Amino acid sequence: MNKSIVSVRFAGIFSEIGVGFTLGVGLTPLALVGCQDKPVPGDDTADADTDTDADTDTDADTDTACVPNGFSATAEDFLLPTAFSDDVYPDHALQTASGSRVCASGTGGYVWSRSDLDGDGVEDLIVHYDSCGSDSTLGASHWSVALAGGDPAALVAWALPSAFASGSYAANALNGASGTRTFGSCGYVWSLNDVSGDGRPDLVLPYDTCGDTPNVGATTWEVYENTGAGFADTATEWTLPAAFAAAPYPGAALNSLAGTRTAGSCGYVWTTTDMDGDARPDLVLPYDTCGGTGVGTDSWTVYPNTGVGFAAAATAYALPAYDPARYPATPFNNTSGTRTCPDSATSFSWALSDLNGDARPDLVVPFDTCGTETGVGTSSWRVHLNGAAGFGAAQAFTLPSAFAASPYPADALYALSGTRTCNTAEGYVWSTQDLTGDGLADLVVPYDTCGAALEPGSRFWKLYAGTGASFEDTESQWALPLAFTGGAYPSAPLNGTSGSRTCTNTGYYTWQTADESGDGVPDLLLTVDTCAGDAGLGDSKWLKYTGGCW
C-alpha cells in the first residue's frame, strides 16, 4: 500500500474535521441519523408536532425503529479489578481481552480470558492462574472472576471441582480456559464449552488418564456442569457413540473437542458444532474412512446432542452433489477449507456460517473456479442453507456490486473475511459479522483505499447490511469515535474490526469489538493506548464506545 498517498488524503480530512466538519469538494458528508428523531415502535413518547396543528402528536406507533449505526462518540470507563494496578504486574497488565504474561519481576506469570461464565449474555473476566499476586491456589481450587454487572473492582472465587486440587493432577491443574497437560505418566485435556446448552459454559475433559474415570475419550467425556456460581464438584459422564470405543478407531478416539486423526490406513476429522440450532453442540464428522461411507462426499456424520451425551445413532447430514469430474472425491472433507480440483489449475473454498439468521450454520462457498458457475466471489457467494436433514440446493447470496469492478481484483470477496490489495496497489479489509444486532451477518469493510471517495477506517466503517439472502447493494456508514483521528495516531486508525497498531510516537493501541451489554450490538473496546490516550488503560480500566443508534 502506498502510505504517502493515504496519509495525504487523510490529512486533508483531518484538518477539516478541526474546523467543524466542512468537507472538501467531491466528498459526501456523513449522513448520521439522530436516534432521538426516530422513536422505537411501541414507545409511549409523544412525537414532535409534525402536522403543525399546535398539538403534540400522539405516538401512533408508526415510527421506524432506529437501526444501530455506529459507536458512541465518547467513551465510558470499563473498570478492571483493582488488583491489576499493583506493581507486581507489568504496565498495562490486561492489555488485551485474553492473554498470558510474565510478572513484573521477570519470573512467574498470569493467565486471563473472557467468557460468559454465568450465562447472562455478557462476557466476564476470568483469571485462571497468577503467581505474581498472592493467590497461589488459582487454577487448583478456583478461578477468580469479575462478573459483568457486578463490582468491577472485586474478584470473586469461581469454584473448580475439588479433584483438581489433589495430587492426581499437576499443580494449578486448570491454569487456563483450555489446555493440555501431562503429570508424571498421565495426561488430561480440558475446555470450556456449553455442552448442556443452558447458556453457561461447562468444564469438559475429553481426555483424562490422571483421574479415576476410565475410558475418557473412548466411551465418555467428563463434564463438570456450570452451576452459575462454579463448576459442579462431581463429573457427569457424557456418553459418546459406542462406535468410537472399537477398532478401527484408535484408543481414546475422541480425545479433544475437535481434531484430525489417523488409525492404520483410515482417518477421520471431528468437531463439536451445533448443527440443528438448538444451542447444544453436536458431534460432527465431515470426514471418516474408519467407520463411515461417503463421508465428505454424500454426507457428514452428525451425532445429535441429547443433553446428556451424543446420540448413539448417527444422522447422515446430506451434502450437495458436486461433479466428481470437476471436484475432489471428498469435496467437503472438513467444516472449512480450500482445495485444488483434479485439473490442478482450479480450486474452491468453503466454510460454515449462518447467513440467514436461523442459528443453523450454512455451507458457504465464497470461491469456486472448479465448477461451471462464474462470478463466485465476485457477484455472489454460493450458499447451501442448512435444512432439517442436510444442506440444500445452491442459492446465490448476492454481494454488493461495487466489488465486481476495478480497482477491486477478480474474485474480490473470495472468503468470508480477508485483507487484499487492489489493482491500484492499495488495499481493503472485510469481514462477515452482525454489527446491527438483528441476527443477520453483515459485510463490514473497515478499511478500503481502492477507490472510495470517502475512505473507511477513521470516521466510519463501510457496512453492507445482511438481508438473509444477500448483502445490501448500497453501503451505509457505521460511525467511529473521532478520538483516534490526528495526533500520534496513524491514518485510518481503526482499519480492522480488531487490531493493535503502533503510533507515530513510540506508543501503541489495541482495540476489539465485543457486545458488552447483551443487546446483540457489538461495542468497541480500547484495551491499551499509550499513543496519546489515557496511560492507565490496561491497568485500572479499558474504554468502551457503545454500539447503538446515535
Q: How far is the CB of 357 from Ca ion (least distance, A)?
A: 7
Residue 44 · residue 59 · CB < 8 Å: yes
CA separation for the pair 142, 190 (Å, rounded): 15
Least Å distance between CB 305 and Ca ion?
Answer: 5
Q: Cβ closer to Ca ion: 256 or 305?
A: 305
CB of 230 to Ca ion, least distance (A): 12
Residue 59 beta carbon to Ca ion: minimum distance, rounded to whole angstroms:
34
Collect all residues with Cβ–Cβ distance below 8 Å to 405 and sequence separation of at least 6: none
| Residues β-bridged to residue 269 | 260, 287
Q: Which lies closer to Ca ion via its Cβ, residue 274 or residue 368?
A: 274
Q: Minimal distance in Å, beta carbon 31 to Ca ion?
A: 32
Q: Given the complex with Ca ion, which of 299 and 458 has the nearer CB atom?
A: 299
Q: Residue 527 corresponds to which cell in the numbers above?
A: 484495551
Closest distance to Ca ion from the beta carbon of 487 (Å): 35
Residues linked to residue 439 through DSSP beta bridges, in sequence order: none
DSSP H or E segment with residue 4 = helix 3-17
Minimum CB distance to Ca ion smaller for 147 or for 479: 147
Total Cβ atoms within 10 A of residue 74: 11
How far from 311 is each of 239, 281, 307, 314, CA to CA, in Å? Answer: 8, 12, 9, 7
**Shortest distance in whole angstroms from residue 549 CB to Ca ion:** 24
Q: CB nearer to Ca ion: give 39 or 547.
A: 547
**CB nearer Ca ion, residue 148 or residue 295:** 148
- Of 500 and 517, which CB lies nearer to Ca ion in the complex structure? 517
End-to-end CA distance of the chain: 33
Main-chain dihedrals φ then ψ at residue 201, nearest 5 degrees: -65, 135
CB of 440 to Ca ion, least distance (A): 10
- Chain position whose Cβ is nearest to Ca ion: 196
Are 527 and 511 in contact, with CB atoms under 8 Å apart? Answer: yes
Answer for the pair 332, 338: CB distance below 8 angstroms, yes or no.
Answer: no
Least Cβ distance, residue 395 to Ca ion (angstroms): 11
User: Which one, 300 or 509, has the nearer CB to Ca ion?
Assistant: 300
Interface with Ca ion by CB under 5 A: which residues? 116, 118, 120, 122, 124, 148, 194, 196, 198, 200, 202, 226, 274, 276, 278, 280, 282, 305, 354, 356, 358, 360, 362, 386
Exposed, middle or buried: residue 168 (CB in 10 Å: 0-12, 13-18, 19+)?
Answer: middle
Which 3-state string (H, E, C) describes 266-313? EEEEEEEECCCCCCCCEEEEEEECCCCCCECCCEEEEECECCCEECCC
For Ca ion, the closer CB: 108 or 199: 199
